[in-house]
Structure 1
C-alpha cells in the first residue's frame, strides 16, 4: 500500500467513531473538516518513509505515529487560521474551519485533534509500550514549549524575532518529529535523525515564505501575502527572493547528505529529491524581489 493510502485509511479509521460515540454533531462534523480532503501529508509520509528505511518491523506502530503527527499538524492549521492569529479565510481551497463553523468550534476542534493524536499513540501502547511512550514524549516535545510549534507561534508575539529559532519551532519542529518518530516506531535510535528533519523543515519554511510572497491564493489554496500583512519575519524579507531561493536549494542539498546510514537510504534520498523538485518550482517566481 502506498504511504498516502495507508495514512488516509488510518485517519478515516481514527475519526470514524466520532458521531457514533455521542459527540456534539457540529463538533463531530468540524473535526474531519479540518483533516479532509487531504493536504500534502508530507510529515506523516516522511515518518513512514523513515520507518520503512529502518525496517518498519511494527507497521501498526508506525501508522499510529503517522496519524498522531498529522492530527497535531491539522490542529495547528486550525489554530493558525483563527482571527487572533492569521485571520485566514481559506485553507486547502475551502473556507477555513472558523469561517465554516465559527470560532468557538474551531478552537474546540483544534483542541480535540491534539488530544486525539495522543490518544492514538496511547492505544498503540497496547502492543509496543516502550515505543509508544517514546513516541508520545517526542511528539509532545515538538508540539509545546520551549521549542515546539506552540513556541513557534509565540515568536510572532515578540518585538525582536530570531528568524532561525522561529523557523525551527514553527515549521521544522514537526519535521524533526517526523524523522525521529519514524525511527522510534521502527525500534531505532531517534537522535541521528534530527538533522534530516530540521533541514527539510527549514527548506519547507523558506519555500512557504517564497510562495506567500510570489503566488496567489488560487495557486496555493490559502491566503497569500500574509507575512507582509502581519509584519511577520520571513526568509524573503531577510534575504530577498533570489537569496531565499538559493538558501532553500543549499538546505535541501545538506538534507540529502545528512541522511543516516540505513537499509533504505537510497529511497529516502529519492524522496527528498522529489520534495526538492516540488519546493523549488514556483510558477510565478520572479527573478527579482517583488515591489
Structure 2
C-alpha cells in the first residue's frame, strides 16, 4: 500500500468522522430560528437514515475538491458536504421504500421504513431534502450570497428531475422496458453520477474558481461517477450481502440491464482502468495538489463494498 493511498484512507476516515459529527449536531433536538418544534419520531427516523456510518464519499469529494484552492475555509466545505449527504441519504431512504426498490437492509441495518414505518420514511426523506438547502443558505455557511445561490442551483439541478430523482424514475421504468446501452448510460449518469459531479464541482464553486477549473472538476466528477456505477454493478454480481451491507443480485433478479451485464466482467475491469486514467488526466492541471483526488479515483474503481 503506497504512502499516498494510506494518506487517502486516513483522510477519508477523518473527514467521515467530521461529517458524522456535524450531521449529528444538525439533527439534534435543538431548534433553529423560526422552527416551531422538532417532532421526536420524525427526528429519530431522520437520524436512523443518516447517522449510520458509511464512507461519506460525497462530502469527502466536496472537501477535497475545495482543498485544491487556497483560502477556502474547511468548515464551509464541510457544511456543503453535509448538505449533499442529506440529499444522498434522503434518496436512499426513499429508494428503499416498497414502492421503489423495496429493500430491508441498508449499511447493515434495517432500512428506515422497516425500523419505523413507511410514512415516517417518506417524511424523513422529505425533511432531509429540505434541510440540505437550509444548510447551504444558513448564515453559519460563510459564503457570499451569490456563491450560495450558485451552489443551490447546481445542487437542485443535480438532485432533481434532470438528475438523481429523474434517474430513479428512469430506473423504475427500466424494470418494464429494457433501455438500450445509451439509455443505461443516461440513467446511471442521472441517478448516480449527478451527485458525484456536484460533489467535485462544488469545490470550485465554493472557491470562486475559474470556469476552466470548474469544468475540469465537473468532468472529473462525471468520470468517477461512471466508474462508481460500473464498480457498483460489478459488485452486485460478485459480492455478497454481508460484504455490501445491503442485498445484492437485485438488478439481475428484476431483469434490469446494466453495462456490466451487457459487456461482462472483463470489459468492466478494463473500462474502470480507462476511467481512472481519464480522471488522472483531468486533474493534471492541479499538479501535486490533486494527489488525494487521484487516489480517490483508484479507490472508487477498486472498491470492494
TM-score by length of structure 1 reads: 0.89
How many pairs are equivalent? 280
Matched with 2:3 is none
Structure 1 gaps of 5+ residues are 284-291
Whether the aligned pair in 1 keeps the contact of 2:54 and 2:107 (CA below 8 Å) is yes
Any residues of structure 2 matched to 1:170-249 within 5 Å, and which? 170-189=191-210, 190-249=214-273
Whether the aligned pair in 2 keeps the contact of 1:82 and 1:98 (CA below 8 Å) is yes
Give the distance between the partners of 1:126 and 1:17, measured in 2 at CA: 23
Whether the aligned pair in 1 keeps the contact of 2:197 and 2:225 (CA below 8 Å) is yes
Gap change, CA 1:119 and 1:260, over 3 Å in 2: farther
Matched with 1:123 is 138
> Given the alignment, which residue of 20, 24, 36 partners 1:8?
20
Give the distance between the partners of 1:239 and 1:251, measured in 2 at CA: 16
Whether the aligned pair in 1 keeps the contact of 2:154 and 2:198 (CA below 8 Å) is yes
Give the distance between the partners of 2:28 and 2:184, measured in 1 at CA: 40
Any residues of structure 2 matched to 1:1-291 within 5 Å, and which? 2-17=14-29, 22-124=37-139, 127-146=143-162, 148-156=163-171, 157-158=173-174, 159-161=177-179, 162-189=183-210, 190-259=214-283, 261-262=285-286, 265-277=287-299, 279-280=301-302, 282=304
My pick for the range that moved more, 9-18 or 175-184, is 9-18
Q: Runs ≥4 in structure 1, deviation > 6 angstroms?
A: none
Structure 2 gaps of 5+ residues are 1-10
Offset at 1:272?
3.0
Secondary structure of 1:57's partner? coil
Give the distance between the partners of 1:177 and 1:198, measured in 2 at CA: 9
Gap change, CA 1:16 and 1:56, over 3 Å in 2: farther
Gap change, CA 1:254 and 1:127, over 3 Å in 2: closer
1:114-149 deviations in whole A, cap 9, x for unaligned?
Answer: 000000011046752111111111100100012x10
Offset at 1:11?
1.4
C-alpha RMSD over aligned residues: 2.1
Whether the aligned pair in 1 keeps the contact of 2:224 and 2:276 (CA below 8 Å) is yes
Offset at 1:166?
1.0
Whether the aligned pair in 1 keeps the contact of 2:217 and 2:283 (CA below 8 Å) is yes
